Amino acid sequence: MPINSLLQREAFDAELVAMLGDVFEDVLKTLGLVDRADPLTEMVARRVIDLARAGVRDREHLKYLTMQAFQGGART
């Protein structure tokens, strides 16, 4: 699932949308997820968006927190 379809429902500016898409792609690559039909890809997208809604705007921190959610780490 591309993150763009989920981001259309959000009130993020274009620059943030682009950054969130990049983070999403980075996380998928790091996790080795290539099948866009895999439900885990949507979970990754939703996590990235949830963190952005919570105010996380630093690209590296956003990627770190998203990765932690899928590697059994802390979720804050």
User: Rounded to the nearest 5°, which phi and psi values hold at 42?
Assistant: -65, -35
Domain presence at residue 52: yes
Q: Which residues of the chain have pLDDT under 70?
A: 1, 72-76
Domain presence at residue 76: no
pLDDT at residue number 71: 84
Domain presence at residue 64: yes
Domain presence at residue 17: yes
Domain presence at residue 39: yes
Distances (CA, A) of 14 to 11, 18, 20, 50: 9, 6, 10, 17
Specify the number of domains making up the chain.
1
What does DSSP assign to residue 3? H
d(CA 39, CA 10): 21
Domain presence at residue 47: yes
pLDDT at residue number 7: 82
Domain presence at residue 40: yes
Name residue 53's amino acid. Answer: R
pLDDT at residue number 74: 47
Domain presence at residue 75: no
CB 51, CB 16: distance < 8 Å: no
